[in-house]
Structure formats: C-alpha cells, structure tokens
Amino acid sequence: MSAVTPEEEKLTRLAVVGCGRLATARIFPCFPRMPVRLVGVCDLDGAKARQNARRHGGEKVYTAVSKMLDETKPDGLVVCIGPEQHAAIAKQALSLGIPVYTEKPPAPTAAEAWAVALASRKAGKLCMSAFKYRYAPAQVKTRALVRAPEFGKLTALNLVRACGPYKNTPGDARSEFLLDFCIHPIDQVLFLAGEVDEVFAAAPTPANYAISVRFAGGAVGSLSLSCHGSWKQPLDRLELFGAPGRQITIEDQIFMRYHADGIQKDGNEPRFCTAGGDSLAETGFLPELEAFVGHLRGERNADEIPSRIEESAKSLAFYEAIKKSAASGKPVKPERFE
C-alpha cells in the first residue's frame, strides 16, 4: 500500500464491519460521495470483505472486528450485521472511544438498546442507528409541515405497510417481521407524530398486525402491517391529518403531497427520468451516512442527529408494546427510559 497523501490525511478514517447484502448494495456505494477513507473492511467471511475492499478502496481486510479496531483505530465504525451483533459491537467500539453507526435494528430489545445508549453517554461518543426514514427528504419535509401552525395540531394518522413473507422463527430476530421489517414504520411514526402514550394491537399470527395508537400529543393512529403481500409489490403508504381540511399523503416513502382544503400546497415529487432523481438520497441511505460522517468531521453535534441511540431505544419500546399488547389482548404503555 502506498503512503498516505496530504489530501488523504484530511479524509475521515472509517472502518466497516459486515459486508453482506445490505452493506454491499446500499452502504459501500455511498462512500465515494463522502470525504472518507476506508481504513478497514471486516467480515467473518474473508472473501466478502476482500471483495468490498477491492471494489471500494478498502485499505486493509479483516475477519475479526477487535483486530480491525485495534490496528486501524478508526474515527468511526459502521456496523451492518444484525441486531444482537449491532448492540455488542457498538458497546465494544464505544468502550474504545470510537463513535458508531449501526444498521437497524440497533438491538433485539429496548433494554439492550438503552444499555448501548448508556455506553454512548459514558464514552461521550455518538452511537446512531440507520433509521433511514428520519433522513429521507419527504419525511423531513413532512415532519416540518405537521409542526407548522398552518397544519394545525396533528389529529390522526393511517399507515399501511406490506411486504413478502417472513419466517417468524422464534429466537431468530432477523426472521421476525415485526422487528426486522416493521421497525422502520414504527420508527417513522415516532419521528413524525411524537411519543406514544398507549398501544392496542391485534395479531392472530406474527404475520399480520392491526394496531391502534394514542399519541402523547393527543393524535390517534392506525397501523396495518402485513407480510402477506409480495416483495414484488411492497406497500408503503401514510396519511396524516391536522386541522379540518389539512392532509398529507406519503406514498412509497418518497412521494409526498400536502393538501389544504383540496388544493395541493406542497410536496416532494422527485423525477427519476434521465439525469433527474437520486434514489440513495430520496430513500435516506446517503443522508444518514452523511450525518454520521458530518458528525465525525465536527460539522454536526450529536444532539442534531435524529436517530441517535436514545431515540432508537424509544422505537424498540414502541415495538415491544405492540408485541405485548398483541399477546395479552390489553392496551400497553411503552416503557420509558431516562
């Protein structure tokens, strides 16, 4: 490997652990668009690590994260494996003073996410989760609109989300529809509508959920979640209502329209033809990584990062409340952490 140039010295030194499907398709392709050097690339499967390092300019390849952290001492670590490993590796990196970005879900339970939040506080270093809806332009715009005086107070929301089959094997977090797939809409609802006061859920099987929500701000919500759809035709729709006549509709995460008394006042309607549109940006994958790198470069404070681990723990608490309510047939208040 040739010596580091003065220009490269100015770049943020990132390490990545986990070179599976998502990292390869959505994380590594973002790096050339940011001021970063990939000082270490790690996967238990050395062939995957080597391939991603070769394609994306990774400087060293590892099969053990401890060795990579020890040798490269990166400015920040990106973790993309699965919830148990996200929490364990985040705590390991934070104990070494290294800020961390983990894919979703950040942990298998709210208590484990909160333990990471405490480790982050103790280290004084950021841990953030890849909750991409918090960075997608349509969602960011919607959050501002529902807080604008013209919209009035948020009064109601309806969410429909459907995908192809999940195995829902007990004890396998990656196979659980409500955790692996629905944690995105669960987090999206908290981001847009604020904290949840109480949840009532019906789920005859772990594949279909009908959920009623009362928000702390006074709004009511209805969530319909199913993995009896198709991966070829996933459904992603959300409607939000404010004062009478004020309505926002978001389709497929990125197409948003705000109507007041039947007249469209605002929206997010990117075009993807010819040179238009950028799906990595519109889906939030690029801006969430930019937020992490911006923080590492001293351009964004931790409290300006919308998906820091303290917030992610609330999403897992909402997820657990849905599960508990479906199991008990009773309304449940999500656990709160301080």
Ligand X SMILES: NC(=O)c1ccc[n+]([C@@H]2O[C@H](COP(=O)([O-])OP(=O)(O)OC[C@H]3O[C@@H](n4cnc5c(N)ncnc54)[C@H](O)[C@@H]3O)[C@@H](O)[C@H]2O)c1
Is residue 85 within the footprint of ligand X (CB under 6 A)?
A: yes
Interface residue with ligand X among 13, 37, 56, 104 (CB under 6 A) is 104
| 3-class SS letters over 235-291 | EEEEEEECCCCEEEEEECCCEEEEEECCEEEEEECCCCCCCCCCHHHHCCHHHHHHH
Among 8, 10, 21, 195, indicate the residue that binds ligand X (CB under 6 A).
21
79: left (phi over 0), alpha (psi -120 to 50) or beta: beta
* Residue from the set 8, 45, 195, 252 that interacts with ligand X by CB under 6 A: 45
Q: Which of 53, 81, 190, 332 binds ligand X (CB under 6 A)?
A: 81
Segment lying near ligand X (by CB under 6 A), choices 37-45, 203-211, 235-243, 265-273: 37-45
Shortest distance (Å) from residue 88 CB to ligand X: 8
12 token code pair:
């943020």
Residue type, 64: A
As a whole number of angstroms, the distance between CA 127 and CA 308 comes to 6
Contact 129, 307 (CB under 8 A): yes
136 contact partners, CB below 8 Å, separation of at least 6: 253, 254, 282, 283, 284, 287
Residue number with the shortest CB distance to ligand X?
A: 20
Q: How far apart are CA 6 and CA 34, in angstroms?
A: 17
287 touches ligand X by CB under 6 A: no
Question: Which of 14, 15, 16, 18 is the binder for ligand X (CB under 6 A)?
Answer: 18
Q: Contact between 48 and ligand X (CB under 6 A)? A: yes
Site size for ligand X (CB under 6 A): 22
Among 132, 246, 314, 323, binds ligand X (CB under 6 A): 132
Q: Is 87 in the site for ligand X (CB under 6 A)?
A: no
Which chain residues interact with ligand X by CB under 6 A?
Answer: 17-23, 42-45, 48, 65, 80-82, 85, 103-104, 130, 132, 180
